[in-house]
Chain A
Amino acid sequence: MSSSLPARTSGPPDGSSDHGVTVYERVQLVHAAVQAIADRAGVDVIFIKGPAAERQFHQSGRTSVDVDVMVHPAEMQRLIRALQVHGWQYYWERNDHGLVDHSSVVMHPYWKIAIDVHHHFPGFGAAPTRVFDALWRERNEIEIAGRPCVVPSPVDHALILALHFVRTGWSVQAQGDVDRSLAQLGHSGRETLAARAEELGAQAALSVVLPHLVGDAPKPAVRYWRLRHQATPGFVLWWALIRAEPTWRQRLIRVKAAFETPLPLGQTEWANRSQHVSATVDRWARAASQVSAVCRRSLSRSGSDRR
């Protein structure tokens, strides 16, 4: 498209200036751009949080700095490749063996916005494929930046916002987002949300922030999600995650993962052996310091109990 309207329009064809275009305006435009790229590539995507939640739940005044999009796990690489064809650059893969998100981040030098591509959203216990298929079956379409974009149903989106709240910890904004979305669902919508949480294995995480909506969930899993909500240090979180696994085999997989040092953000491989060794030493030093702090706290607690 040409940009030849100098008298009446302005724009940054070389990306060198934003001409007063805000980050949130670009975020909305990028939603439409990603939907267009996904449509052309024949990849199903679902936009979550940000402008999608703002429109579905009338969260006026909210802003976002990035785009969150869910994709079927089998189509993740196809979407990333389609984005790369349009100049999006693979930035990093967020993968801490299940302790945090598993998503890929791509950036664009012109749009200057990050896209967080999720094939799994933490808090859902069901297989990622099953979760995406379930969300897709109930999908809605809303206008973002004047173009139709695919979003979850209001019930599914409220569930995702609640799970996001579990993961990020308490804040006035996150609590407000969850409260507003639940209020708009009404009583029957909240009941549907509870049933959906059960169907997709999200009761344990959901019970941390909405205990009144959820029935019994396995205690070790609830404990793990409660610790995550409280921004607990990594060592304690790993221990809770290992205990939350239902079988010994899955626990062993977690134990093995706990001993692997994750790559630094933005890297797909270690630069050299010394970087790997140094990161591993740092990681274990942090873990030792966390163990020591936990021991000190429990000793101090037992001391005060005795007094």
Chain B
Amino acid sequence: MTTLHRSPQVAFVDRDNEDTVVTAGLPDGPIQVLEGPTAVVWRLLEEPRALDELVQLAVSLYPDAPESARSDITAMVGQMVEAGLLVEG
């Protein structure tokens, strides 16, 4: 089963009172501002989680989300891995 965690090559500042996390690749950037569901996923990965568990937890935070939310969030997590924010393993 795939476990996801935050990349150790990424620094971040969590804006606690907002739905936003500011990240930067180390050591050269770029700075990326995670908003909404991407910030939620980042926060949920304070500890490593399996993909299924992560998606389920994220979807549960949006009770009014449509049926497609699960696949949307799965795709978004994939993009975060591609962007180097998250790593598998």
Contact = CB atoms under 8 A, between A and B. Distances in A.
B11 A2 contact: no
Contact of B83 (A5, A28, A40, A146): A5
B11 A1 contact: no
Looking at chain B's contact residues, the main secondary structure is: mixed
A94 B37 CA distance: 46
Contacts of A111: 29
Interface stretch (A31-39, A67-75, A272-280): A31-39
Interface in B32-58: 32-38
Contact of B12 (A13, A20, A146): A146
A185 B23 CA distance: 33
A1 B80 CA distance: 11
A8 B34 contact: yes
A8 B35 contact: yes
B76 interface: yes
Contact of B27 (A19, A21, A37): A37
Interface of A: 1-5, 7-13, 19-21, 25-26, 28-29, 31-34, 36-37, 40, 86-87, 110-111, 145-147
21 contacts: A1-B9, A4-B79, A5-B76, A8-B36, A8-B37, A8-B38, A9-B83, A11-B33, A12-B30, A21-B31, A29-B11, A29-B12, A29-B31, A31-B11, A33-B28, A86-B27, A110-B28, A110-B29, A145-B11, A145-B12, A147-B8
